[in-house]
Amino acid sequence: MQAECHCDWPLYDDVFHPPPLRLESHKPLWRNLQTVDVTSRWREDWQSAMVVNSALMVDPTIRLPGFDLHRRQLSLLNHFRTGQGHCNVCHKKWSFTNNELCDCGEIQTVSHIVKYVNSCPLTKFDGGLLHLHEADEAAVNWLTTYGYNTIIIIIIAVFLCGLRWRKV
């Protein structure tokens, strides 16, 4: 604990030399501190959790590929990793559109956009989500191109929704 190394901190005396208890039922949290290995605890919690695409991240303590990408690219990559983001199914749920179909005719979910099997022939990334997760040069280029097109679509959708709301 860092407080052990800093005896000049006001917190130090409270933790290591607390005043006597006035009431037996009032016990400071730090009285019975036990060392916890946060990294192991995090791994255990991750392995026991039911997470979409959890196979992409074996160890939650290791930074994922693409961590150093620009915010827009990393955000889009994380949308695909989590299966949540801008797609027509979500746009319909958010009342941006009445149509949940992709331009290819299938229902457009986040996984439909990028999955290796049964994915959209218009947006498919070769290698699918596993390859996209690696965030190599090809993945970053695809994210940049797809991200630019998505932003244009979102701007149009928001603009059209704004017009619809004004008429009401």
For the segment 87-113, what is each residue's pLDDT rounded down to a tens digit? 889 888 888 888 899 888 889 888 888
Tokens of 27: 């016990």
What sign has the CA pseudo-torsion 69, 75, 42, 134?
Answer: negative
**Mean pLDDT score across all residues of the chain:** 81
Residues 160 and 78 reside in one and the same domain: yes
Specify the residue for token string 């049964």. Answer: 118
Domain assignment present for residue 153? The answer is yes
How does residue 50 score in pLDDT terms, banded at 50, 70 and 90? confident
The domain tally of the chain equals 2
How does residue 66 score in pLDDT terms, banded at 50, 70 and 90? very high
Residues 11 and 76 reside in one and the same domain: no
Residues 160 and 77 reside in one and the same domain: yes
Tokens of 152: 């244009």
* CA angle (147, 88, 143) in 5-degree steps: 15
Q: How high is the pLDDT of residue 60?
A: 82
Q: How high is the pLDDT of residue 118?
A: 66
Domain assignment present for residue 97? The answer is yes
Domain assignment present for residue 15? The answer is yes
pLDDT at residue 38 tops 50: yes
Q: How high is the pLDDT of residue 129?
A: 87
How does residue 168 score in pLDDT terms, banded at 50, 70 and 90? very low
Q: Which domain holds residue 143?
A: 71-167
Residues 83 and 160 reside in one and the same domain: yes
Residues 76 and 140 reside in one and the same domain: yes
Tokens of 15: 């933790």
Q: How high is the pLDDT of residue 17?
A: 80
